[in-house]
Structure 1
């Protein structure tokens, strides 16, 4: 059934691309900028009970746990703040205060439209509200938005990008190819998205990272949504550490001992794998 729905969607955009390109662009724009809200897992609901909930003036919701230097988690497209669940206890036990945000039109935050520009704006709004974060951890779009934000002046000691894009153009092009936009409609859509989002079609951060920020790039070889080439676009050097896993895909990587150990050790200044951490799956 799922394959039939996708086939019909692609047929719709293929036809509209030629007979009504502006309508095709309008329909594609609505689809691209409108995230679906998915129900949280039981483990995610459980961590809400121990959280302090906050709401920004624009309706953006974020949560707080623990005491210590602040760490921020920002989820990916169609994700939610409580996807921090698996790494929450290890981070709190390590002496950090953990914040996690529902980006606009995600989770419990208000709105029905979102895009990477909104994610980036949310990071700056939280920095203004809370102060500079010790570390920002981002999954998927959250990771790409975090690395882009530090090129725009966001202050943080460390960034962890998990399954995140390093190139915005590739993300949009993948969407265009998936829905089957053609010809003029494809060109119009690509141009409109770049203008609307306000993030140029260039590498998000690989060549412009701050000299004051350490970055961990965590990705899986078998990620089908954001290919591992995005991680390999970064240069592994004194400031950027790249860790490639296998068999975890795009989302499972958030919940496994291997990934969480690497993240916690990076934040605590080393890359040993000495931690035995609980899973949230």
Structure 2
């Protein structure tokens, strides 16, 4: 029953939004915006509590949002970890173990509307604003981000001239917002009219449309060393996106895997990250 409901709900939302757009494109796009940016998962589960509670560091206020930060103390460089959509800082527990063995100082935080952090909506500009605030507190030299966290890692450093970050790792990161929007349209069967209204809404709210928000466009301006890891069979974020970013990022490298999926928790991935950090 739950699987059937999960399949039907997007279609029901789509019919509703398409119908509403015939009356008011503006109202339909505003509601689509909230549907698109409202996570349904990602809060801390019972099996994750012990690991995260032991590392709680502080609560950080960013406007109306309260972020939960975590810290695993070490004597080497500080690393900031950014999780992805409908996840939380627990997703890093395997990598954190390896980083602790190397004595790195590790920081993470739950994104808005995820984990122990407050908020209802989640999007990259907001995540990037939070990331910059956390960077200013903890001064990490390295950032590692998975999926949307990888996109945020790169975007947060775009035009951040005085950033202390010297290396960035993006794992299975989407390359542009328009591709993500295309997946959203396909899942909900939204009309082009709704999507155009949604694009206009983004432009009004953030001063860029979905075509302009592209890591391929931002990458040439990144002075940091970069490592991109992406699976060619990733069904969530296409591999070609990372290939395009790497081609435009002057000081970066791309590791291609096959059969590891989108989550990328495997030792092979973590070993590539450690090698890059030590180089």
TM superposition score category, shorter chain reference: 0.7 to 0.9
How far has the Cα of 1:199 moved from its partner?
5.5
Cα shift readout 1:236-255 (whole Å, capped 9, x = no counterpart) = 5772110111122222x1x2
Tell me the distance in 2 between the aligned counterparts of 1:29 and 1:108. 23
Shift in CA distance, 108/39, structure 1 to aligned 2, threshold 3 Å: closer
2:32 counterpart of 1:23: no
How far has the Cα of 1:20 moved from its partner?
4.0
Tell me the distance in 1 between the aligned counterparts of 2:208 and 2:173. 15
Q: CA RMSD in A?
A: 2.2
Aligned partners of 1:147 and 1:209 also within 8 Å: no
Tell me the distance in 2 between the aligned counterparts of 1:221 and 1:207. 23
2:251 counterpart of 1:242: no
Tell me the distance in 2 between the aligned counterparts of 1:267 and 1:199. 33
Q: How does 1:3-82 map to 2 (within 5 A)?
A: 3-40=7-44, 44-58=48-62, 59-67=66-74, 68-82=76-90
Tell me the distance in 1 between the aligned counterparts of 2:26 and 2:222. 44
Tell me the distance in 1 between the aligned counterparts of 2:95 and 2:29. 39
Shift in CA distance, 205/120, structure 1 to aligned 2, threshold 3 Å: farther
35-44 vs 241-250, greater mean Cα deviation: 35-44
209-218 vs 11-20, greater mean Cα deviation: 11-20
2:237 counterpart of 1:226: yes
* Structure 2 segments unaligned to the other structure (5+ residues): none
Aligned partners of 1:44 and 1:85 also within 8 Å: no
56-65 vs 19-28, greater mean Cα deviation: 19-28
For 2:134, the equivalent position in structure 1 comes to: 126
Tell me the distance in 2 between the aligned counterparts of 1:129 and 1:23. 39
TM-score by length of 2: 0.86
For 2:275, the equivalent position in structure 1 comes to: 265
Shift in CA distance, 155/210, structure 1 to aligned 2, threshold 3 Å: farther
Cα shift readout 1:186-241 (whole Å, capped 9, x = no counterpart) = 21111212443455524225553456311111111121121111111123577211
Tell me the distance in 2 between the aligned counterparts of 1:85 and 1:37. 18
TM-score by length of 1: 0.85
How far has the Cα of 1:43 moved from its partner?
6.0
Aligned partners of 1:135 and 1:156 also within 8 Å: yes
For 1:152, the equivalent position in structure 2 comes to: 159
Tell me the distance in 1 between the aligned counterparts of 2:20 and 2:90. 39
Question: Across the two proteins, how many residue pairs are aligned to each other?
Answer: 266
3-state SS of 1:78 partner: coil
